[in-house]
Structure 1
Amino acid sequence: MKALRFHAAKDLRVEQIDDIPAPGPGQVAVKNRFVGICGTDLHEYGYGPIFIPKEPHPYTGAHGPQILGHEFGGTVTAIGEGVTNVKVGDRVAIQPLIGPRTGEYFGERGWLNLSPVLGLVGLSWGWGGMAEASVLNDYNVYPIPDTMSDEEAALVEPTAVTVYACDRAGVTAGSSVLVTGAGPIGILALLTAKAFGATKLFVSDLNETRLKLAREILPELVTINPAKDDLVKIVQDGTADNLGCDIAIECVGNDRALQSCLDAVRKQGTIVATGVHPGVGQLNFFDVTFKDVTVKGSWCYPAHSWPRVIDLISSGAIPAQKVVTKKIQLDDAVAEGFDALLDPAGSQLKILIEVG
């Protein structure tokens, strides 16, 4: 079968590899349909291996070359012994976290994202979404309703990231929310915050094209380019008593963006860091203390959140498909997908690869 595999930084190859094996006990075979290119995939392509293990993964045993892709869905083609949650023919969305579900504190509670031996489909598992088929554990596959499209199935994973971030932030009816970063996760965070009841939405980004796309998706959104706009003043002027926003969600993985969150949030507000920051960062902790704010991290999502996120998308509460700006074929994934998204002047948000 055909698959896109990571070999090294700047070395992705569309290759013919062996077909998937028959699923073993507790496993499911899936014909993949659509897969999204995630920021994590881009980081692996540009600078990896990062999450892709150089030696066999301590839990999954996986190592490179790695089939990429953890944002995907497809159709069940076979099930192994003991599988009861799906049947052949079911359309499914993939929950990519892999880890022990018994005998380990976090796994027993559905918090595989916090497991010390966390593995991920498409990064540290033998299979991924950027191939024609995959073999997964039964707990990685969730049936989707007829009201959800195949494209939307590939958006459950990134939407789960933003649902968890908004849960961590405590977004509720009437909240004012600033998101730093108008990429796919940033826009999904804004759509999720709106679904949760937020009434004042702000986004900052240096890319004017992405700010324009953000306004097209959410016309009520206040967009800010911090290179030429006074971010703090705009947020304060747009919030009650000029205090600043209730919540700021950082979706870039950039110290300046995180500091902007601290500058713009009101006293006793909440900051959630969703972007992955490399190494030790800088934040004005005098202001953290003086403003009496809460700073939280948000890593992935709990594995048990899939039914809820599927319902939020399929019901229309979170119109996740609005972030998709392009669909391409697997053969064109590197040039028209990865390279296009890494272009600083690029005009794309979320690109889906059609693999089946």
Structure 2
Amino acid sequence: MKAARFHGKRDVRVEDIAAPDPTRLGPRDVLVKNRFCGICGTDLHEYAAGPIFIPTTPHPYTGAHLPQILGHEYGGTVVAVGGEVRDVAPGDKVSIQPLVSPRDDHFGRRGLYQLSDKLGIIGLMWPWGGMAEYSIVNDYNVFRMPETVSDEQAALIEPTAVVVYAAERGGVRPGSSVLVTGAGPIGQLQILAARAAGASTIFLSDTNDNRLALARKVLPDVIPLNPKRDNVVEAIRDQTEGHAGADVALECVGAEAALATCIDAVRRQGVVVQVGLHVGKPALDAFAVTFKDIDVRGSWCYSTQMWPRVASMIGGGILPAEKVVTRRIKLADVVSEGFERLLSPAGEDLKILIDLA
């Protein structure tokens, strides 16, 4: 079968590899025929500067190592299941929850699987991934999709779970004013998640006007701000009650300047949520955090049990995640039409889906 495998920095190859044998599945294995797979910002960072998360020596829990089949935002159809699998059956349309971890360690016993020290991720630290024709995953990684969720939407549940969880971490509620920094795919999904949670005033800050224009198509009443020409903090204060600032700020870039903007723009006793991953160690204005009596919270992945709830939000139209999809490509074109396009400073694309049909 064909698979896109990461070998090193700017070295992703679409290769022929052996297809999984459905007669040799483990008792709790699920064989999936992959349908759509999104290119995540993490995949992009691996391509541009990796390996970062992808292990060069066997992962301590999963055993995965280079070369790695990429792709952790995906869905497909169940082909075969192991003898102890009960929740899905051949023919089911599914979405993949990609976190792999022990069920019986400190965090696993508490249902906090995403916090395990031995965490692995399908498509990064697992022998299989979504950028291939087939994959083998654990039964707990597979969630059956309702009829209201399309094949494309099934591939969008993973990044949508990230932003739904972040909105919950921030305490976004009906009537909240919210700032999102970063108008990439996660930032654009974040404004949709904020609206789904009830936010009435949503600001989006980014230095790329193309992406700010795309955001107006995703959420027409979003208030776009470009820090190259706008005083973001003052603009937000001018449009919030009491000139106080936003109730919640969600940093979706992983940039020091964006985090500083969030701290400045949030009101006293507001909440800042760090969603994007910082490559380095950013400076933090601890005086402002204390003086303004604000909370700064991390938001790592999501609860692995969120899939049915997020699927219902997408399928019911409450959170139309498909609005962020700007291009659909074939696996053979994943480098030229996928990774390279997303690395373009023009920022003309958001979410690119790989069509594996």
Same fold (TM over 0.5): yes
Percent of aligned pairs sharing the same letter:
58
Q: Which moved more, 1:165-174 or 1:105-114?
A: 105-114
> Which runs of 5 or more structure 2 residues have no equivalent in the other structure?
none
**1:48-127 → structure 2 map (5 Å cutoff):** 48-102=50-104, 104-127=105-128
Deviation at 1:159, TM superposition (A): 0.2
- Paired with 1:355 and 1:2, the residues of 2 have a C-alpha distance of 10
Whether 1:244 aligns to 2:245 is yes
Deviations 1:306-332 (A, max 9, x none): 111111111111000000000000000
Across the aligned residues of Structure 1 and Structure 2, the Cα RMSD in angstroms comes to 0.7
- Paired with 2:20 and 2:186, the residues of 1 have a C-alpha distance of 31
Return the letter of the residue paired with 1:188: L
- Paired with 1:330 and 1:294, the residues of 2 have a C-alpha distance of 43
Deviation at 1:21, TM superposition (A): 2.8
Whether 1:32 aligns to 2:34 is yes
Deviation at 1:279, TM superposition (A): 2.6
Deviation at 1:350, TM superposition (A): 0.4
- Paired with 1:206 and 1:110, the residues of 2 have a C-alpha distance of 39
- Paired with 2:109 and 2:336, the residues of 1 have a C-alpha distance of 42
Instruction: Give TM-score, length-normalised by structure 2.
Output: 0.99
**1:219-234 → structure 2 map (5 Å cutoff):** 219-234=220-235
- Counterpart of 2:16 in structure 1 is 16
Deviation at 1:109, TM superposition (A): 2.5
Deviations 1:96-135 (A, max 9, x none): 0000012x12112222211000000000000000000000
Deviation at 1:336, TM superposition (A): 0.4
- Paired with 2:212 and 2:101, the residues of 1 have a C-alpha distance of 38
- Counterpart of 1:193 in structure 2 is 194
SS of the residue aligned with 2:107? helix
- Paired with 2:11 and 2:103, the residues of 1 have a C-alpha distance of 34
- Counterpart of 1:313 in structure 2 is 314
Return the letter of the residue paired with 1:337: G
- Paired with 2:211 and 2:282, the residues of 1 have a C-alpha distance of 26
Return the letter of the residue paired with 1:179: V
- Counterpart of 2:333 in structure 1 is 332
Q: Which moved more, 1:51-60 or 1:105-114?
A: 105-114
Whether 1:157 aligns to 2:162 is no
Deviations 1:151-197 (A, max 9, x none): 00000000000011011000001000000001110011110110110
Deviations 1:12-55 (A, max 9, x none): 00000000133211010000000000000000001111110011
- Paired with 1:108 and 1:144, the residues of 2 have a C-alpha distance of 26
> Which runs of 5 or more structure 1 residues have no equivalent in the other structure?
none
- Counterpart of 1:278 in structure 2 is 279
Deviations 1:199-223 (A, max 9, x none): 0000000000000000111111100
**4+ residue runs of structure 1 moved beyond 4 angstroms?**
none
- Paired with 2:270 and 2:106, the residues of 1 have a C-alpha distance of 31
- Paired with 1:252 and 1:171, the residues of 2 have a C-alpha distance of 19
SS of the residue aligned with 1:187? helix
Return the letter of the residue paired with 2:52: I
- Counterpart of 1:304 in structure 2 is 305
- Paired with 2:181 and 2:290, the residues of 1 have a C-alpha distance of 22
Return the letter of the residue paired with 2:70: L
- Paired with 2:109 and 2:319, the residues of 1 have a C-alpha distance of 29
- Paired with 1:339 and 1:108, the residues of 2 have a C-alpha distance of 42
Deviation at 1:302, TM superposition (A): 1.2
- Paired with 2:84 and 2:260, the residues of 1 have a C-alpha distance of 50
Return the letter of the residue paired with 2:275: T
- Paired with 1:264 and 1:121, the residues of 2 have a C-alpha distance of 36
- Counterpart of 1:177 in structure 2 is 178
- Paired with 2:107 and 2:243, the residues of 1 have a C-alpha distance of 41
- Paired with 1:328 and 1:108, the residues of 2 have a C-alpha distance of 40
SS of the residue aligned with 2:31? strand
**1:209-228 → structure 2 map (5 Å cutoff):** 209-228=210-229
- Paired with 2:110 and 2:174, the residues of 1 have a C-alpha distance of 28
Whether 1:258 aligns to 2:263 is no
